[in-house]
Amino acid sequence: MTPAFELEVETATTHHTNSANNGANDNQIGFKSRVSVIGSGSWGSVAAKLVAFNTLNLSSFHDELKMWVFEETLQSGKKLTDAINRTNENVKYLPGIKLGKNVIADPDLDNAVKGANMLVFVTPHQFIDNICKSLVGKVRSDAEAISLIKGMEVKIEGPCLISTYISEQLGINCSVLMGANLASDIAEEKFSEATVGYGNNREIAEQWVQLFTTPYFMVTPVQDVEGVELCGTLKNVVAIAAGFVDGLDMGNNTKAAIIRFGLREMREFCKLLFSSVKDDTFFESCGVADVITTCFGGRNRKVAEAFAKNGGKRSFDELEAEMLQGQKLQGVPTAREVYEVLRHRGLLVVSSVCNSARDL
């Protein structure tokens, strides 16, 4: 669909938009980064809204922002992609929120990332394997990626962070962005903050900070990819426990204890996997702030509360389908993954808690 705005005239050569692996002219005067968002759920749409504001207003970025959409047919019979491009809203996952006139929804993954040198991954972690396999050889060799995905891949040889998986599959560097980020609040431009976790390149981290920062969304860089990413992953397990507390009507004191125990065990688990994880990371937005907001709001707590109120008689899969309208829980598969990591290392404590995690 033709975008609703007039594309800027590009004075620089455009060969990099026609070749996935060619970035030779990127250092020329006037080079502008081209950004693509891979994912379009509620959080993906909010991420696109944040990024689109800056690509439109900062001279270092191309105006146009492609957002890859997993195509769906709405109840009206219309395609989700067409609806987004017509209304400038994600009518299914973020209704009533304008994404930005420069956001172009695209159901073709290859076309959505074509020419982009900054890739924002924001899909349920269950889908990242197929997405990466589809993108092998399709992205620029000089591209930078950032993952907003909560979760990890558990393999026979051990756990693999999503950022590591993206890097290994696509041969590009991948940072992470995590934080106390309930999508609905940010969509309504209520003040929030986040943490960018990066490796050795501070300059790249600052580019991501620039891309995401708005008057209502503050971003701080931290040189601790593993710590930032694991905080964003593990907090969803704690949120499941907090939902159980709510469903069983055990009160705020119990929930506070769950949050404290959960944060402590998050730290221990992170250090178990990566000794380089910094204690200070747990006091950033990706740490304690994210645990708090996720345990009082968010889909994982909400569905876990319903699970407890039903006495466990309705499965998480059933409740997810009924309550989330196509969105995915992260806490349940992450609990399984944590269980498998601990079992593989012989660190399970035999208890009803462990059995519950196994049976989720």
Domain ranges of the chain: 35-223, 228-359
Interval 69-85 mean pLDDT: 96
According to the model, what pLDDT value does residue 29 have? Answer: 60
Is residue 188 scored above 90 in pLDDT? yes
Architecture of domain 35-223: 3-Layer(aba) Sandwich (3.40)
235 is catalytic: yes
According to the model, what pLDDT value does residue 19 have? Answer: 39
Is residue 327 scored above 70 in pLDDT? yes
Query: How many alpha carbons lie under 13 Å from residue 249 in its C-beta half-sphere?
Result: 3
Strand 35-38 relative to strand 118-121, pairing: parallel
The CA radius of gyration of the chain, in Å to the nearest whole number, is 20
pTM over 0.75, yes/no: yes
According to the model, what pLDDT value does residue 351 have? Answer: 43
Q: Is 68 annotated as a binding residue?
A: no
DSSP string, 1-33: ---SSPPPPP-S--GGGT-TT--TTTTSTT--B
DSSP string, 297-312: SSHHHHHHHHHHHTTT
Q: Which residue has the higher pLDDT, 192 or 359?
A: 192
Interval 130-150 mean pLDDT: 96
Average pLDDT of the chain, as a whole number: 89
| CATH fold for domain 228-359 | N-(1-d-carboxylethyl)-l-norvaline Dehydrogenase; domain 2 (1.10.1040)
- Among 138, 71, 61, 139, CA closest to 100: 61
Q: Is 241 annotated as a binding residue?
A: no
Q: Is 143 annotated as a binding residue?
A: no
According to the model, what pLDDT value does residue 125 have? Answer: 86
Q: Is 70 annotated as a binding residue?
A: yes
The amino acid that residue 298 corresponds to is: G
Confidence of residue 157 (pLDDT cuts 50, 70, 90): low
Is residue 295 scored above 60 in pLDDT? yes
The catalytic position among 235, 271, 278, 302 is 235
189 within 8 A of 216, measured Cβ to Cβ: yes
List, for residues 115-129, the tens digit of each pLDDT value: 999 999 999 888 999
Helix pair angle (162-170, 225-247), 10° resolution: 140
Backbone torsion region of residue 4, taken as left when φ is above 0, otherwise alpha when ψ lies between -120 and 50, otherwise beta:
alpha
